[in-house]
Every structure is written in structure tokens, then in C-alpha cells.
């Protein structure tokens, strides 16, 4: 069958295309192939909320959802799969003006439902007078999430940003005072007010706000290649926008500012508009 296809199309790339499609990818899988000058390796969590790291030749352009993926000088790139990513993911490879589409499976997850009662009414449904502020704040957050920086910190292993008990998991659907809300995209780590929050990898500070409506004291770190992380409800902030931060450097302290019922760190990770599960990135889970 392969020989027939090669005869019809006369192209070695088809051979690789078929090889790729025969591979089924699940969590923490490797996918690799070599054929003459073509090479693509993918490694990571092929699951909703997962991040996959890849490497390919310099002369191959890789597109995911119409976005050209940034590559390092070694040809490394990353792809993130959001909370509700469909069962199939597609990569388009462009080499010598030829386009090849590769598909692989993304594992589906089942998310928890979490009910929280007793929140102040204005925090569940914000009064109209706050709409303008919320829209403005969301816009600034979105701008950071759209960054596609050329720093390569995303390839480092992630460490915990604070110590504590996980009190909220990625993807759970929250019902606040009986009203279904947007899913919870971060993980919550319960810790004492004032506990140190540190950077999980080297990073650049892109947001350092004391008082956002929903998230209170908020820091956004940029790890490069579209990967950003968010630290919310902080009681204090030790960094400013533009700071270059080392791995495990203190950036702030745990608090309960914004829409929060008690001291905890809400930690989120984004790959552009895709929400990722921070737990999947940690070197020591």
C-alpha cells in the first residue's frame, strides 16, 4: 500500500505522513520519525490541558490552527491543547513549498463539578458599574496571553510556585451561589497568607497588578513561545513589569484578594488562548 502511494505521488513525504498517522499518542508519549533530511519529534502530554514539545529541521515551517509556531535555533517548538480540545489535532508542515498535514489523537478528560456558596453577591454577578473596569482588565490580560516571545524558558522543567494542598483542580466547572460559571482554568493551592510565591521557571514579568476585580493581586509571567502563567489573589507583589526572574525567585505572597474565599494561590498556565493544566508541567508532581 505504501509502495503504491509512493508510485502515485512519487513523494517521500507521503511515506512519513502515513507513518505518523499509524502512531497513536496518549499522555507522556513520544512520537518521532526520521527520513532522509526530515525529522519531527513530539514529546509530552497528548491530552486536554497538555503541552507537547517538538523538534524538527530548521527548514520546516510548522503550523497549528493557522498559527506559525515559533522555533528555537535548534528547531524546538511547543504546542498546547486547551481544556476542551477536540479528539484530533492537526499539524501542517511546510517544506520546500509542499504541505503535509499530520493528525494525532488528544485524550479527553472528565472534569469535576465544584459548588461554592456564600460568596458576596457582587462577586458572583458583578454590578454594572464594574463592567468597564472588568473589560479593561480582561483586555490587558489578553494582550499578555497573545505574546509570542523569543525566550526559551518554556523548555525548562517547572517547579511548584508555592507549597500547600491542592484545593481546586484544572477544568472543574464551578457553581457559585447556585449559578454555573466559567470552568476553573487554574489549580488552587491552599497556603497561609504571606507564604512565598516563586517563579516555576525563569521568566519575564508581563503584569504586576495589586488589585484586579476578579483576581486581586495578580502577576503574569512570560516563559516564551506563547506560554504564560498567572498568579492570583496575592497579598503582596515583589516584582514589576519587565523584570527578568530566575527559577524559584520570590515574586509575591499568597493572599485572598479579589474574588476569593480564603488565602490560596490560583495558578494558571496559558498557551496563547489555550488553557493548560499546570500540574502536567511540574517536574515533581
Alpha carbons 212 and 210: distance in angstroms, whole number: 7
Q: Where are the alpha helices (DSSP H) in the chain?
A: 2-9, 12-22, 121-124, 131-145, 278-281
Find the shortest distance in angstroms from Cβ 158 to Zn ion. 18
| Dmax (CA) of the chain | 69
Stretch of 18-26, 62-70, 115-123, 265-273 lying at the interface with Zn ion (CB under 5 A): 265-273
Of 31 and 265, which CB lies nearer to Zn ion in the complex structure?
A: 265
Encoded one letter per residue, x for contact with Zn ion by CB under 5 A and - for no contact, window 174-203 reads ------------x-x---------------
Contact window for Zn ion (CB under 5 A) among 75-83, 140-148, 164-172, 211-219: 164-172
Give least dist CB 266 to Zn ion, A: 3
| Cβ(205)–Cβ(238) below 8 Å | no
19: left (phi over 0), alpha (psi -120 to 50) or beta: alpha
At 216, list the grid cell.
Answer: 486581586
Instruction: Please give the order of strands across the beta sheet that includes 38-44.
Output: 29-35, 38-44, 51-56, 76-80
Give the nearest residue (CB) to Zn ion.
266
Near Zn ion by CB under 5 A: residue from 231, 266, 278, 281: 266
Q: Is 277 in the site for Zn ion (CB under 5 A)?
A: no
Closest CA to 108 of 173, 46, 48: 48
Nearer to Zn ion, 13 or 189 (CB): 189
Which range, of 6-14, 43-51, 162-170, 207-215, touches Zn ion by CB under 5 A? 162-170
Nearer to Zn ion, 104 or 267 (CB): 267
For Zn ion, give the closer residue by CB, 56 or 229. Answer: 229
Report the distance separating Cα 234 and Cα 95, nearest Å: 47
Q: Which residues bind Zn ion (CB under 5 A)?
A: 168, 186, 188, 266
Amino acid at each position: 500500500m505504501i509502495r503504491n502511494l509512493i508510485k502515485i505521488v512519487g513523494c517521500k513525504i507521503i511515506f512519513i505522513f502515513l507513518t505518523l498517522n499509524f502512531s497513536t499518542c496518549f499522555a507522556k508519549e513520544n512520537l518521532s520519525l526520521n527520513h532522509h533530511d526530515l525529522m519531527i519529534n513530539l514529546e509530552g502530554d497528548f491530552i486536554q490541558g497538555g503541552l507537547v514539545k517538538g523538534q524538527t529541521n530548521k527548514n520546516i515551517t510548522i503550523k497549528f490552527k493557522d498559527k506559525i509556531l515559533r522555533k528555537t535555533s535548534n528547531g524546538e517548538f511547543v504546542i498546547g491543547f486547551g481544556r476542551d480540545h477536540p479528539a484530533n489535532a492537526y499539524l501542517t508542515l511546510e517544506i520546500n513549498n509542499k504541505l503535509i498535514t499530520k493528525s494525532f489523537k488528544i485524550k479527553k478528560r472528565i472534569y469535576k463539578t465544584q459548588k461554592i456558596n456564600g460568596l458576596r453577591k457582587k462577586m458572583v454577578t458583578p454590578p454594572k458599574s464594574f463592567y468597564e473596569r472588568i473589560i479593561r482588565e480582561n483586555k490587558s490580560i489578553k494582550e499578555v496571553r497573545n505574546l509570542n516571545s523569543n525566550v526559551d524558558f518554556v523548555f525548562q522543567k517547572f517547579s511548584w510556585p508555592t507549597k500547600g494542598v491542592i484545593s481546586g483542580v484544572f477544568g472543574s466547572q464551578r457553581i457559585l451561589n447556585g449559578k454555573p460559571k466559567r470552568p476553573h482554568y487554574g489549580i488552587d493551592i491552599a497556603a497561609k497568607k504571606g507564604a512565598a510565591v516563586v517563579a516555576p521557571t525563569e521568566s519575564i514579568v508581563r503584569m504586576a497588578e495589586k488589585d484586579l476585580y476578579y483576581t486581586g493581586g495578580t502577576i503574569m509571567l512570560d516563559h516564551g513561545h506563547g506560554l504564560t502563567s498567572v498568579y492570583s489573589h496575592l497579598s503582596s507583589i515583589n516584582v514589576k513589569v519587565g523584570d527578568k526572574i530566575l527559577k524559584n525567585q520570590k515574586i509575591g505572597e499568597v493572599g485572598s484578594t479579589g474574588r476569593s474565599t480564603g488565602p490560596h494561590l490560583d495558578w494558571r498556565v496559558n498557551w496563547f488562548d489555550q488553557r493548560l493544566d499546570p500540574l502536567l508541567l511540574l517536574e515533581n508532581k
